[in-house]
Structure 1
């Protein structure tokens, strides 16, 4: 008896037509990258399912732990193999069901027998296995239609394969299948959740963060690094662009009345993002804005901010309330990082009474007193670019 394989079921990929192979290839590459640190992993992608195999039990446990975060997978099941012997099959069926926490459920045995030389017919196999399992797990109830537990048995020439546990995947599309976009990552709750939603739709991310030392410190930057690291765990690496934003932010506060500095600051961010986007082949800008949440997220504010760019601006959280965002942040494990008490550049210069309905012509009037072009180009040229996930450092390396 040996559990050394995982069967992966595609979700939305299964609805694709002639281009299905490109989606499957993308998923295969993402899975391979996710487990690039595991030496014994073998991946075989077929039209309707994928198989991940490893003879190392610890590696297989790592696969089961990480696979739920890879987009493009509907569900997966560990597969246990045993020899072609009815007694061995009974023990294997018992072991497979034992891994399911709650056995007070409906149950059936499904059998495929492509190896016709096996001496037991399908009805006999079903009877022998179900009788044995019911003796060991008396809480199970036989139900032939839509049972909660379906013990699938496949008799092949080389071995018998069984599975019953179904682990839910992340769903969605493989990251990269939907192109690439630039996420404005602030360090708060909203933008990582927005990034997560776009990853789920197959969009590969590049990240941009605006850093304003000495008003923001290295702990605020490290917080953003940790968020970027977390976003890189969903099947694709990401690059983070750290923009030195102090000069631009100070110039805005010199030239623009206090109550519209928030609008003008975000317009400068969009202009910077446009230049980075052009260099990275991204096709859209993503923000974590939710309608009406703060002064800069009213329709009037967003209209004034959008006016500086022709790039599509995607706002996946636009109709999501804060409690929903918090729930998702907790699910994807960004919440505890986001609530660390280190301010970003969006909060340090927040005016006491920001305009919720800024007039575009008024914002443009004050911005025209000075040319921001040189400062924008300088900020882009001096940015720091970091790849995530970061290489793991051996803390004892210096001692070797």
Structure 2
């Protein structure tokens, strides 16, 4: 039997009894919901300080997928893989422990710790000594070290059952969704907004996505992909909304009427106003930005204070004390770096000498030249859609994209998954050429491919393939289809 012990994030454990009960109840529901959505057969058993997840027989061949899902659920601090088996004698125990631990013992010192229950002819200490001696003689180790070992081999003997715990795996941590109130994250597709969104999800806030479109359809498709990725990877236990606001009319009004040095601060104030109106419509009490203190001219303390006063809604800035390298490192860790690297910068307005100390009176004077009815209009016309409809929207674009499950002769398949996904589940097709171009590089690299071939885009669930194929079709590349085996 394969099972995992799920350890809770430490902050959950120190909560009061009532709060802890609520948090663990939510986390248990999230685990069940995510595994059901991913069609994996497991059982979840809750206890006071941990969960036990049992992988049912028909999902035993998908243990790697089980581990990956558990690592991405907010509220789980670590998981411990546990295997149960029967044994006949001490030699049998040694063989089974060796099979599990031998690859990890190479050039490592170790100690064996055993818990025993039931009636046996040997004690826990006897088992530990016997197994330790056997491993030391039959594995390439640095020997037994009782106090400062590299590895601790722990297992339990319960009557004739051997219970091995190994492979402690660090997980996301944080708080279960939705233990905090809902928030609205201003998502642009860049490094900062992606990491800020992740931070709020990890903290247990159901995080909706608000996108101010400054770059047309291509910009929107790119940001939809980032948003769908973040939701699918870290918060798929709960449905959220993706809101797209056409902000080009607002930018045009600023460019025409506002003094150059004040444009950056005023643009941010307009975004805060619009986001606040969207949040009010959705009964959300806070908005989230990726701003970091002193990173650019609009992010000085003075300017941030002036920006905040544009609306009464609480503005959260989870990256406020992070520097750019820290943000980029976290983007790498969560998987949004590749999106951000190729996402064009749509600044909207660029000031030659932007103010770093905005004067509220001057800002008010400049804003008096603007038509605030434009803000009301673009918010009223904003497109609000369920995050799942991004996948459905891509799948329904049959007028643009054809899906096939059987490839024609001489077809070329473009595997557009990330390098990590490709390594975990390589795509190998007999008699068919497979090229690897991650979806975030496809727009820039597709034009360099020979244009006299048919190309079939492949990804795990078809969402990214549909979005990319649709975009390439719109750009005139009609030989692009989707491969869904």
Give the whole-Å Cα distance in 1 for the aligned partners of 2:15 and 2:25.
13
Give the whole-Å Cα distance in 1 for the aligned partners of 2:358 and 2:279.
26
Say whether the 8 Å CA contact 1:108–1:147 is kept in structure 2.
yes
Say whether the 8 Å CA contact 1:76–1:169 is kept in structure 2.
yes
Per-residue deviation, 1:371? 4.2
Per-residue deviation, 1:158? 7.4
Q: How does 1:1-400 map to 2 (within 5 A)?
A: 2=1, 4-12=2-10, 13-18=12-17, 19-35=19-35, 36-54=37-55, 55=57, 56-86=59-89, 87-100=91-104, 103-114=106-117, 116-145=118-147, 147-156=149-158, 159-212=161-214, 216-232=215-231, 233-236=233-236, 237=238, 238-344=240-346, 347-372=347-372, 374-388=373-387, 391=391, 395-396=403-404
Per-residue deviation, 1:168? 1.1
Per-residue deviation, 1:157? 5.2
Inter-CA distance 73–250: structure 2 relative to 1 (3 Å threshold): same
Using the size of structure 1 for normalisation, the TM-score is 0.89
Give the whole-Å Cα distance in 2 for the aligned partners of 1:171 and 1:235.
13
Cα deviations across residues 332-385 of structure 1 (Å, max 9, x unaligned)?
Answer: 1111101114233xx14222222222211111122223441x322322222223
Say whether the 8 Å CA contact 1:38–1:59 is kept in structure 2.
no
- Tell me which of the two structures has the higher relative contact order, counting C-alpha pairs closer than 8 angstroms and 6 or more residues apart: 1
Secondary structure of 1:170 counterpart? coil
Per-residue deviation, 1:119? 4.8
Give the whole-Å Cα distance in 1 for the aligned partners of 2:80 and 2:69.
13
Which segment is superposed worse, 63-72 or 302-311? 63-72
Secondary structure of 1:26 counterpart? helix
Inter-CA distance 135–385: structure 2 relative to 1 (3 Å threshold): farther
Say whether the 8 Å CA contact 2:253–2:371 is kept in structure 1.
no
Ranges in structure 2 where 5+ consecutive residues have no aligned partner? 396-401, 406-481
Give the whole-Å Cα distance in 1 for the aligned partners of 2:122 and 2:192.
58
Give the whole-Å Cα distance in 1 for the aligned partners of 2:300 and 2:68.
41
Give the whole-Å Cα distance in 2 for the aligned partners of 1:162 and 1:177.
33
Per-residue deviation, 1:210? 0.1
Inter-CA distance 377–85: structure 2 relative to 1 (3 Å threshold): farther
Secondary structure of 1:165 counterpart? strand
Cα deviations across residues 111-161 of structure 1 (Å, max 9, x unaligned)?
Answer: 2223x1345432222223222222222414323336432222123357321
Give the whole-Å Cα distance in 1 for the aligned partners of 2:76 and 2:138.
33
Give the whole-Å Cα distance in 1 for the aligned partners of 2:403 and 2:149.
49
Say whether the 8 Å CA contact 1:152–1:164 is kept in structure 2.
yes
Inter-CA distance 222–99: structure 2 relative to 1 (3 Å threshold): farther
Cα deviations across residues 177-230 of structure 1 (Å, max 9, x unaligned)?
Answer: 222211111221111111222222222211111013xxx132222221222123
Inter-CA distance 187–391: structure 2 relative to 1 (3 Å threshold): closer
Per-residue deviation, 1:97? 0.6
Secondary structure of 2:44 counterpart? strand
Cα deviations across residues 28-65 of structure 1 (Å, max 9, x unaligned)?
Answer: 23323332213312222221111122122332210112
Inter-CA distance 64–368: structure 2 relative to 1 (3 Å threshold): same
Inter-CA distance 189–58: structure 2 relative to 1 (3 Å threshold): same
Give the whole-Å Cα distance in 2 for the aligned partners of 1:385 and 1:326.
29
Say whether the 8 Å CA contact 1:69–1:170 is kept in structure 2.
yes
Inter-CA distance 388–112: structure 2 relative to 1 (3 Å threshold): farther
CA RMSD of aligned residues (A): 2.4
Say whether the 8 Å CA contact 1:40–1:59 is kept in structure 2.
no
Say whether the 8 Å CA contact 1:219–1:342 is kept in structure 2.
no
Give the whole-Å Cα distance in 2 for the aligned partners of 1:246 and 1:297.
22
Equivalent pairs counted in the alignment come to 390
